[in-house]
Amino acid sequence: MGALNCVGMYGRSVTKDATAPKWFTDTEAGHSERYVEYIRGLAADGADLGGEARFMDALMAPRSRVLDAGCGPGRVGAVLHQRGHHVVGVDVDPVLIAAAREDHPDVTWVVSDLVELDLKSLGEVEPFDAAVLAGNVLAFVAPDSEVHALRGVGRHLRSGGRAVVGFQTERYSVADFDSHLAEAGFELEQRFATWDLRPWHSDADFVVSVLLWS
């Protein structure tokens, strides 16, 4: 499937811009390239990179439409594609999207900020059954844009669709997240401490939340 593109992307030159995603402002030059090589190295070593995808696969019906929001170099979306789902991956970083396109050319990868996300204008007119935001995605959006990013994802879900969000609690507080998800129009359905379904507890250093979109 052909790749899609969005305009209005950020670059490292905006490190002083408070409206830019923290993925750019809070990291050093070359961070994206190092991250790509890190993921590729794990894959080459045979590391298990499919935990989030297995979680999503169990949550969804076969051949679901899945939005991989904050997809990075494509490790989660690629596994979901292999399991028969229709996947569109989105990330604000052109370096990560270029790696995803190179390593997983059979999946659609889009450069876009989640806040500005409009896949319908790019040909993806059907709503998605589910979205996954793995790997601290919401911790790296622009300051005070978490609600807008969540709404951007929600606009692309069908009624009753789910978004699953995982992040380290030291990067983004659960209390703030709960406030943001409610303001964005989501309902918390389930919560775990890991992607392998360990029970949630308030001292957990990671959180995985299943959200329902009305």
pLDDT in tens, 144-203: 999 999 999 999 999 999 999 999 999 999 999 999 999 999 999 999 999 999 999 999
pLDDT for residue 2 is more than 60: no
pLDDT for residue 47 is more than 50: yes
Please report the pLDDT score of residue 19 as a whole number: 84
Helices 94-103 and 75-82: angle between axes, nearest 10 degrees: 30
pLDDT for residue 88 is more than 70: yes
The model's pTM is 0.90
Strand boundaries in 92-184, DSSP class E: 108-111, 128-133, 157-168
Nearest to 32 by CA among 4, 7, 9: 9
Please report the pLDDT score of residue 133 as a whole number: 98
Mean pLDDT of 68-89: 98
Q: What is the pLDDT of residues 93-118, one digit of tens each?
A: 999 999 999 999 999 999 999 999 99
Report which secondary-structure segment, H or E, holds 65.
strand 65-69
Residues 6 or more apart whose CB falls under 8 angstroms from that of 81 comprise 87, 104, 106, 107
Exposed/middle/buried for residue 155 (C-beta within 10 Å: 0-12, 13-18, 19+)? middle
Give Rg (Cα) of the chain. 16
> Which DSSP letter does residue 46 get?
T
What is the rounded distance in angstroms from the CA atom of residue 11 to the CA atom of residue 35? 16
Residue 162 has which token pair?
């789910």
Q: Report all structural domains of the chain as residue ranges with CATH numbers, in order of start.
A: 12-213 (3.40.50.150)
pLDDT for residue 72 is more than 50: yes
Please report the pLDDT score of residue 114 as a whole number: 96
Please report the pLDDT score of residue 143 as a whole number: 94
Mean pLDDT of 136-149: 96
Q: Which of the residue ranges 15-19, 28-32, 47-51, 142-146 would you say has the lowest mean pLDDT?
A: 15-19
Residue 97 has which token pair?
């999207």
State the average pLDDT for the chain: 92
Longest CA pairwise span in the chain (Å): 44
**Burial profile 19-45: b = 16 or more Cβ within 10 angstroms, e = fewer:** ebbbbbbebeeeebeebbeebeeeeee
How far is CA 195 from each of CA 23, 79, 125, 190, rounded to the nearest angstrom?
22, 15, 30, 12
